[in-house]
Amino acid sequence: MSRHALRSPTEVLTRGFDPALSLGSARPAVFRSSTYVFESPEAGERAFALANGHVTPRPGESPGLIYARLSHPNAEILEDQVVPLEPGARAAAVFNSGMAAISTIFLACCPRDTSFVYTSPAYGGTEHLIRTLLASHGIHGIAVPAGDTPALTRAIAAAPDLRIVFMETPANPTLVMSDIVAAVDAARERVERPLVVVDNTFLGPAFQQPLALGADLTVYSATKYLSGFSDLLAGVVLAADPAALQPVRSLRVLLGNILQPDECWMLDGRLPTVHLRMHRQSKSAQRIAEAVAEHPALLRVHHPALFADPEQCRIRDAQCRHAGAIVSFDLRGGRGAAFEFLRSLRIVRNAVSLGGVESLACHPASTTHSELTADERRMCGIGEGLVRLSVGVEDWRDLRDDVMHALSGL
Ligand SMILES: *Cc1c(COP(=O)(O)O)cnc(C)c1O
């Protein structure tokens, strides 16, 4: 069978790790060394010349290891093994966190006095980055409301010296989707060819595959579904064209934010179960969303399986395979009801973050999105009564009962 015939849940277990390089060990060893011994002074010279891009590798030559801030065996194994999880990917780079990955992309690809377009609301940390560090470095963010395709394509056509189109779809915590193909088409009209970058944390890699739709980079908080147990921080960037990743990798060397060997090893061991976990979590979330949709304590349930807006349904059907495991509830009673609901949950814990095997719930207006002004929150649909639920792998009927019980007290 040719390599290309393999599907990603198989490839992730069969590619990118050679047991012969780890004494025959069936799973990778951990290489914690900070530095690597050269075979000869000439080999050291050659390794530096390659790393600095002064010479091009000969056919079959791989750049030798030098020092772990540049790269190390566990990063290389992880980067090779994560690529087949994302259809269309040909290269990956791993970071200390999702925010490290996102910050490095912006700083590597947007010089001073350039601009980028982004869908809003974005993850709280990303909003913060855009308003503080990037703004103070003369990197100008142009916000477009999530889901507004005409506004997105207009902004991409009009932005001065545009370097990046940054999309988070579905948006956190409202789950509004933005059209990736429309952004790719609009970006290709620009002579500067801005990079289309998709934060794929919520639905990827199982249910949404932006590189296959023409995006240039996908970025993940691997802290969430990729690692899946709420016990490590990591970020991953994947690229359709390895050359697009080069500036990001070079800046990673300077910032020193490559993912550490132990974390690489842990994350690597979680990759083969990403599809299993995400399918289970998404199915449970859809069942819970449907079971509570008509509850009188709720104004609205946000979940892609329950979309009614025709444009949102069109985008979902064009770019997503399943609806994902985040459900948000708009409670009638505002903040008081939301806090009471969180207090009444018995199984689901009140914490930020998402994507783990355990279910978590939070109140975005007072936590993850508290840095937005009340007006900004209103404009992007983050009400005082909104609660975000990340569905884990518990039995969905127990989770449904927990949510129903907490709603019944309101
Ligand atoms: C959590 C998250 C991030 C940030 O990732 P960290 O690993 O916490 O740095 C970025 N984007 C989205 C959508 C997230 O959920």
* pLDDT score for 4: 58
* pLDDT score for 1: 45
User: Closest by alpha carbon to 298, among 337, 272, 339?
Assistant: 337
**Mutation pick for ligand 1 pocket among 201, 202, 220, 263 (CB with most ligand atoms within 8 Å):** 201
Per-residue pLDDT at 271 exceeds 70: yes
Task: Determine which residue's CA is closest to atom 12 belonging to ligand 1.
Answer: 123
Cβ of 322 below 6 Å from ligand 1: no
* pLDDT score for 340: 98
Cβ of 224 below 6 Å from ligand 1: yes
Please tell me the least confidently modeled range out of 22-26, 86-90, 162-166, 176-180: 22-26
Cβ of 125 below 6 Å from ligand 1: yes
Per-residue pLDDT at 221 exceeds 50: yes
* pLDDT score for 389: 98
**Mutation pick for ligand 1 pocket among 96, 202, 221, 367 (CB with most ligand atoms within 8 Å):** 221
Interval 367-408: pLDDT, tens: 999 988 999 999 889 999 999 999 999 999 999 999 999 999
Task: Determine which residue's CA is closest to atom 11 belonging to ligand 1.
Answer: 123
Whole-structure pTM value? 0.96
Rounded Cα distance, 124 and 369, in Å: 6
Cβ of 123 below 6 Å from ligand 1: yes
Inter-residue long-range contacts of 290-298, CB under 8 Å, 24+ positions, other chains counted = 291/400, 291/404, 292/329, 292/400, 292/403, 292/404, 292/407, 295/404, 295/407, 296/332, 297/331, 297/332, 297/333, 297/337, 297/407, 297/408, 297/410, 298/329, 298/330, 298/331, 298/332, 298/407
Rounded Cα distance, 43 and 351, in Å: 50
Angle at 78 between CA 74 and CA 82, to 5 degrees: 180
Q: Which residue has the higher pLDDT, 403 or 22?
A: 403
Rounded Cα distance, 370 and 377, in Å: 9
* pLDDT score for 18: 85
CA of residue 99 to ligand 1 center, whole Å: 6
Can you tell me which atom of ligand 1 is nearest the CA of 202? 13
Query: Rounded mean pLDDT of the chain?
Result: 95
Cβ of 233 below 6 Å from ligand 1: yes
Token pair belonging to 204: 């990827």
Task: Determine which residue's CA is closest to atom 8 belonging to ligand 1.
Answer: 98
Interval 301-320: pLDDT, tens: 999 999 999 999 999 999 99
CA of residue 95 to ligand 1 center, whole Å: 12
